[in-house]
A and B are shown apart, each in its own frame.
Chain A
Amino acid sequence: DAGITQSPRYKITETGRQVTLMCHQTWSHSYMFWYRQDLGHGLRLIYYSAAADITDKGEVPDGYVVSRSKTENFPLTLESATRSQTSVYFCASAASLTYEQYFGPGTRLTVT
């Protein structure tokens, strides 16, 4: 099916562990984005990518690493998870920065 998928949908990890959240889109959109959504803060951009091998920081990049070796995939890695990274993470894709973004279903991450 065409669209944007995220895995896992739910994840519980311990402080200090590395965890990778996956995002895959089938539209061949150039742009992909990672957001976190927290009560009281709304959606905040973590990183985005304009194309394979091109990434840029968003509003809250500290503690996160991204890569984009293929257009369709945009994994987000928490190198050493902290409790403050407990959140719902959304991946999105778009044909360009001015075009509408399409969001995945989200990954609910809990860091204990």
Chain B
Amino acid sequence: QKEVEQDPGPLSVPEGAIVSLNCTYSNSAFQYFMWYRQYSRKGPELLMYTYSSGNKEDGRFTAQVDKSSKYISLFIRDSQPSDSATYLCAMSEGSGYSTLTFGKGTMLLVSP
């Protein structure tokens, strides 16, 4: 079992839809959770950063962490064609030697 699982997609939705992107993980020591967005032929850029459990909202984006289920989600409201990208989850234990573990990414396609 991989440490972080993420459905590769593609996930195709019409403009204006609510999108739910998810990752599951097996390491209960993960405490820091991030979502990166990667456009084609570009480097990943940080979208959301959360610590421990709970929700965090930033504009149309909401990140949710459920540590009891080892499950994190990114919700995108009123999706736009410009949201079409690959979304990578990443997580870390937060210890002095703990690097980020990435999911493989979910490709999202938002059609006009």
Contacts and interface: CB of A to CB of B under 8 A. Distances in A.
Given A40-B104, A41-B104, A42-B104, A97 B99 contact: yes
B76 to A, nearest CB: 19
B32 A58 contact: no
Contacts, number: 46
Residue among A33, A42, A90, A92 with the highest chain B CB neighbour number at 10 A: A42
A98 B88 CA distance: 17
Contacts of A42: 88, 102-105
A92 B100 CA distance: 11
Interface residues of A, number: 20
A1 interface: no
Interface string B73-112: 0000000000000001000101111111011110000000
Given A90-B43, A104-B43, A97 B103 contact: no
A105 interface: yes
B57 interface: no
A48 B104 contact: no
Given A97-B97, A97-B99, 17 more contacts: A42-B88, A42-B102, A42-B105, A43-B44, A43-B88, A48-B99, A56-B97, A92-B43, A98-B92, A98-B94, A98-B98, A100-B49, A103-B36, A104-B43, A105-B42, A106-B41, A106-B42
